[in-house]
Chains A and B, each alone.
Chain A
Amino acid sequence: MAVRAARELRDGEVVFVGIGLPNLACNLARATHAPNLVLIYESGAVGAVPDRLPVSIGDPALVTGSLGVATMADVFQFYLQGGRIEVGFLGRAQIDRYGNINSTVIGSYEHPKVRLPGSGGACEIAIHAKRVIIVAPLSPRTFPENVDFITSPGQNGKYGSREQLHLPGAGPVRVVTDMGILAPARSDGELELVAIYPGVDEKEARSRAGWPLRCAPNLEVLPPPTSEELRLLRDVLDTDHLYIGKREA
């Protein structure tokens, strides 16, 4: 997933980086095909070049050698709301068929079964980044038909489409999973399987979503990670293997 997410980035892009796998993907992209990626962290580091894998989003290594440090008010108002962010990364707890993300509660809001961390910057990243890449392993639990709570808006849903809501960014355009890639259909914004990794069974992948996952007519088989990408991940960027298992690389 880290390799695939890295390949989604183009050289020179301005990326709003989260911690964990997205951070790894950005630094892999920087070490391979996108040396001029501009990494911006919500903590305020602009043009960060972390020389260790940051454990937290406000690691001191993000500041050392960076191009600048912004207040958080500037990060959210001028950088993100100001339309300067080209790619935003989002993860995790639940993603529905339209790419709406829940990172707030499992169960009802008033009486949650599990209280999750909440939005952080996710809601505004989903609204403002020119495009959003979601990274999450494909399973019915992570990809239910409907999320319990919409923290960050996707392509469509009970409040209407992005167009109806006049949301400035394109929202989640790629969902990078451990089986392949989902992308929203042009017609209604529903996520469908558009690409799989070599050796992954299409039927198996389609059974991993909580709704009848459609398959794009021209399903792409993605090239495998190169030995150089794997070497960078395992021996340089994530030497403690905090984020990569065999399956996730």
Chain B
Amino acid sequence: MTSAASKVTTMREAIADLVHDGDSLVIEGFTHLICFAAAHEIIRQRRRDLTLCRLTPDLIYDQMIAAGCASKLVFSWAGNPGVGSLHALRRAVEKGQPAPLALEEYSHFGLVARLSAGAARLPFWLLRDYDGSDLPAANPLIRSVDCPYTGTKLATVPALNPDVTIVHAQRADASGNTQIWGLYGVQKEAAFAAKRVIVVVEEIVGEGVIRGDPNRTVIPSIVVDAVVCEPWGAHPSYAQGYYDRDNRFYVEWEDISRDEASLERWLKDFVYGVDGRAGYMQLLGAQRQDRLRAKPLISSGVNYGF
């Protein structure tokens, strides 16, 4: 059992090497494991003209849109979960500020299906959906085919193969075998669909830890290009077993983002004003970390013997 080559690098290097102007980019995570640390580094490195793809743009893409990184958004639900609107996104769509933003819209199932097709390297994916809805009229990429066996009409969506996918996860080994528990979202599909993959984890563990619990591995090292260790890298979203969702921040974002100037100030303080995630967390303060840190609830484990 020889250890594979290490892909561990810093966030700064990973973004500089693997995310380029004009790329299509997926940073997934459905409420859980959203890699804000990577988004902030992309903002700091002033990437432009990105096509941002995500089921729920969430605050992460609201921040990237406000910072002028995006020219297009591919999405299926664009709100601040449990709170209200994404104001930077709405300013971009309704007023073209700071720059116009093209939209390509699906439902959740449609976008999940696009990533499934991308991961399987098929040109499109089939689903029973959209009959009776105006969504296909709004998005000409939602089409249909007749089933060759039954003649039934089925909806289709094209494969999504992003240039880069960035996945946040609880832990990985140095070569990128990545383990996730709690809500999976579409992290696996997004990783397999991409041309380049960056995995960002709360902890890097030895290969033995991965081999000791192989059923928890969601993304294998063979699809991973870089591994970054960035504790608290998903804040204000969460990492099951590490820290809770910062619901208070999601509410605060409503006031921060409602006004362009206050959002700009927030970016200046919390993104441009720090050199990485450690600095961001320091700025947030120890009290907030204490409030969010997960309480232990350890699973009992299983017998892998034979």
Contacts and interface: CB of A to CB of B under 8 A. Distances in A.
Given A58-B32, A165-B131, A72 B240 contact: no
B112 A127 contact: no
B22 interface: no
Interface in A99-154: 100, 104, 109, 112, 115-124, 126-128, 149-154
Interface in B74-110: 75-79, 81-82, 85, 89-90, 93-94, 105-109
A206 interface: no
Main secondary structure of the interface of A (DSSP, over half): loop
A168 B182 contact: no
B30 A124 contact: no
A58 B297 CA distance: 18
A150 B94 contact: no
Given A73-B186, A81-B128, A151 B76 contact: no
B238 interface: yes
11 contacts: A55-B81, A55-B250, A58-B81, A63-B183, A80-B109, A122-B107, A123-B129, A124-B127, A152-B133, A154-B132, A167-B132
Interface string B168-210: 0000000000000111111011000000000000000000000
Contact of B82 (A19, A76, A123, A160): A19
A59 interface: yes
Q: Interface extent on A, as a size class?
A: 35 or more
B19 to A, nearest CB: 24
Nearest to B115: A73
Interface string A67-82: 0011111001100110
Contacts of A72: 30, 55, 108, 112, 184-186
A157 B185 CA distance: 33
B144 interface: no
Contacts of B152: 166
The 4 A-B residue pairs with the shortest CB-CB distance in the complex, in nearest-first order: A58-B31, A153-B132, A117-B79, A120-B77
A112 B138 CA distance: 12
Contacts of A124: 107-109, 127, 129
A190 interface: no
A57 B132 contact: no
A225 interface: no
Interface residues of B, number: 54
Contacts, number: 173
B12 to A, nearest CB: 29
B245 A60 contact: yes
Interface of A: 19-20, 42-45, 55-60, 62-64, 69-73, 76-77, 80-81, 100, 104, 109, 112, 115-124, 126-128, 149-154, 157, 159-160, 162, 165-168
A151 B184 CA distance: 26
A118 B110 CA distance: 12
Given A56-B31, A120-B108, A124-B107, A71 B184 contact: yes
A5 to B, nearest CB: 18
Contact of A109 (B55, B130, B131, B138): B138
A31 B256 CA distance: 38
B107 A117 contact: no
Nearest to B218: A71
B119 to A, nearest CB: 9
Contacts of B245: 55-56, 58-60
A76 B81 CA distance: 20
